[in-house]
Structure 1
Amino acid sequence: MISSKSNYTKLIKTEAKRLGFLSCGISKAAFLEEEAPRLEAWLNKNMNGEMQYMENHFDKRLDPTKLVEGSKSVVSLLLNYYPVEQQTKDSYKLSKYAYGTDYHFVIKDKLKALLSFIQEEIGEVEGRAFVDSAPVLDKAWAAKSGLGWIGKHSNLLTQRVGSFYFIAELIIDLELDYDLPTTNHCGSCTACIDACPTQAITEPFVVDGSKCISYLTIELKENIPSEFKGKMDDWMFGCDVCQDVCPWNRFSKTHNEPLFNSHPELLSMTKKDWEEITEDTFKKIFKKSPVKRTKYSGLKRNINFLKE
């Protein structure tokens, strides 16, 4: 006889797939022992740059039971965003995750639907949904749940579809069957380390956030330091270099989420178009986009830095 725990696990994974998630893995909600010293060392070296929030809620970041009272399981989910079409070659570059609608909105709705389904089918289950919006170590939980391994560029990797996907979680007070971590398949490859334009990957599995182009173009509120002149590889929002060169990403498959489709104008814009972009055009193209986070002024700052 199948235990209710196994039934519940199967039910959740089947519904996650129906909602469009690429995959679903489940871990026991407990203190992340291996990650604690790594996170502490990373913060002590100031590799978080101006991302002060990374220093907050250290305990909660490592222990979901402190974040969600009574939690027993971390349900990790992946959602593919690899685009069917990409920008023209003569363009300043946007990270592929930013082509369409802000993933926070898209995934939050799917997570709410999954939690409602769990409550309807299983009963009184309490929990919270997380999309990159609270002190949760997404990649660590996804790896712990067997959804992939952490690559040398510190992104989650899978043999089946590479790394172009979002990671989200439901932390719930329901005991389930737990998945086992997978093995690391980076081998002796150093493609991501060799290709990083700013040498932000200081050693395998360690990224100095304060040197990362994504940080410099999105998180950094001051002017981009002059030491990065000529090293930004034309990225005006985010950076995909370490993922683009990763051999596992030759297995990337096109997403099937209409909300992640890009604004038609975005893909055809040239460098000249970007240099002349007005605030009205910015608002039209990036109406519900994650690019709104850097604001018009931030994007202009980045473009001006690249063209100087």
Structure 2
Amino acid sequence: MRTWAHELGFSHIGVSGVDLSSAEPRLLEWLALGYHGNLQYMERYGLKRARPAELLPGTVSVITARMPYLPRSTSPDWQALERARLDAPTEGVVSLYARGRDYHKVVRGRLRKLCDRIETLVGPFGYRVFSDSAPVWEKELASRSGQGWRGKHSMVLSRDAGSMFFLGEIFVDFPMEPTEPVSEHCGTCTACIDVCPTGAIIAPGVVDARRCISYLTIESHDPIPVELRALMGNHIYGCDDCQTICPWNKYAQKTEIPDFDERSPLVGQQLVDLFAWDEATFLKNTEGGPIRRIDHVRWLRNIAVALGNALRDADETQAAELRTALLSRAHHESAMVREHVAWALAQRPGPGDPVWP
């Protein structure tokens, strides 16, 4: 089965049981503190995330898998290169995982192919595949099955693969011997906590989603909290800061799958050019990718914040260009876009600007 998994692009597979009851109090406390923000599905499904046999009756074991997603062209110094993007305030930074095709479909499709091969070995069996696509407690299942340990940024970390991989699961209706979990190797390192721009990692392994840039730019449908906007820099979709700083990611693996290669319209682009995309261009340039999870309005919302952050310290020539871009959306039909544009312009006010607040 491991050989088949490797042939399908998975770097590692493991097996977990379905009893996650010992971790349920931690999940309930996180929800009670409101750290899930407006992720209502987290609250709606509650403990079902921790009970695989309730999500899919008949489930006896869970096969877990990880799939690297660093593009095939990734250079050895990729971490430094990605961090350098943060020092180029007029460039829009899209999270690494979002620069290729939508991983949900890729991972699930290959898990189904793995199931077809398993069926040749054990005969017909009941199963369902997942990849960030249902109330599945992926990180808990992954860590229990030896995919890695839970890092202080809350993601799964592996000594030989870092954290730059997608997770997937196969719920099966026959028993399998669980694989052993691995020990934790973060030690005294707090790099991920220290580097988080918005202080979202409030304790080792505990993330307040309401402050997380990935949540703010992807999951949230609301205006971005004013007190967090200046902290977001030039992030316009997701954030990799806690991963690009992590020492273990020097061992991150490149993908073998062309679907995860970078798409040029999303990488190394200037904010003013991305802000100029109309809805048709946005849909065309993000077709088949995970950025489709947000709409054009939220795309403009995110970029307006980044433009405001760039405007604050830009030279006169850059400032004029940034202001022209922002003013082009000052009368946008969306009140949320108009408000974020007004905020951005207020970072360096000019005559005739829309009033904010």
For the criterion TM > 0.5, the same-fold answer is: yes
For the pair 1:25 / 2:14, whether they are aligned, the reply is: yes
d(CA) in 2 for partners of 1:281, 1:240: 25
Task: Give the alignment of 1:26-175 within 5 angstroms.
Answer: 26-30=15-19, 32-83=20-71, 84-85=73-74, 89=88, 90-175=90-175
d(CA) in 2 for partners of 1:253, 1:74: 24
d(CA) in 1 for partners of 2:47, 2:21: 11
- Aligned to 1:57, the other structure's residue is in SS state helix
d(CA) in 2 for partners of 1:214, 1:267: 17
* TM-aligned CA deviation for residue 138 of structure 1: 0.4
* TM-aligned CA deviation for residue 275 of structure 1: 2.4
- Aligned to 1:174, the other structure's residue is in SS state coil
CA deviation vs aligned residue, 1:160-207 (integer Å, no higher than 9, x gap): 110011001001012112111100000000000000000000011110
CA deviation vs aligned residue, 1:51-74 (integer Å, no higher than 9, x gap): 011012223211111112221111
CA deviation vs aligned residue, 1:71-106 (integer Å, no higher than 9, x gap): 111100001111335776551111101001100111
- Aligned to 1:280, the other structure's residue is in SS state helix
Q: Which amino acid aligns with 1:106?
A: V
Bigger Rg over Cα: 2
d(CA) in 2 for partners of 1:265, 1:291: 12
Q: Which amino acid aligns with 1:54?
A: M
d(CA) in 1 for partners of 2:47, 2:62: 16
Which residue of structure 2 lines up, in the alignment, with residue 190 of structure 1? 190
Counterpart contact for 1:118–1:125, Cα < 8 Å: no
Return the match for 2:4 from 10, 15, 26.
15
Counterpart contact for 1:101–1:290, Cα < 8 Å: yes
* TM-aligned CA deviation for residue 208 of structure 1: 0.4
Q: Which amino acid aligns with 1:76?
A: T
Counterpart contact for 1:59–1:66, Cα < 8 Å: no
Q: Which amino acid aligns with 2:105?
A: F
d(CA) in 2 for partners of 1:263, 1:197: 26
- Kindly tell me the number of residue pairs found equivalent between the two proteins: 296
Counterpart contact for 1:20–1:79, Cα < 8 Å: yes
d(CA) in 1 for partners of 2:233, 2:161: 25
Give % identity: 39
* TM-aligned CA deviation for residue 268 of structure 1: 3.9
Q: Which amino acid aligns with 2:95?
A: S
Counterpart contact for 1:131–1:169, Cα < 8 Å: yes
- Aligned to 1:188, the other structure's residue is in SS state coil
* TM-aligned CA deviation for residue 254 of structure 1: 1.9
d(CA) in 2 for partners of 1:44, 1:29: 24
Which residue of structure 2 lines up, in the alignment, with residue 180 of structure 1? 180
d(CA) in 1 for partners of 2:180, 2:152: 21
Q: Which amino acid aligns with 2:16?
A: S
d(CA) in 1 for partners of 2:253, 2:203: 29
d(CA) in 1 for partners of 2:286, 2:178: 39
d(CA) in 2 for partners of 1:267, 1:302: 16
Gaps of 5+ in 1: 1-11
Counterpart contact for 2:14–2:147, Cα < 8 Å: yes
d(CA) in 1 for partners of 2:290, 2:2: 28
- Which structure exhibits the higher relative contact order, with contacts defined as CA atoms closer than 8 Å and separated by 6 or more residues? 1
Counterpart contact for 1:201–1:208, Cα < 8 Å: yes
d(CA) in 2 for partners of 1:17, 1:251: 18
Deviates more, 1:62-71 or 1:190-199: 62-71
* TM-aligned CA deviation for residue 264 of structure 1: 2.4
CA deviation vs aligned residue, 1:6-48 (integer Å, no higher than 9, x gap): xxxxxx2221111110110111222x12320111110010001
Two-structure CA RMSD over aligned residues (Å): 1.4
- Aligned to 1:26, the other structure's residue is in SS state strand
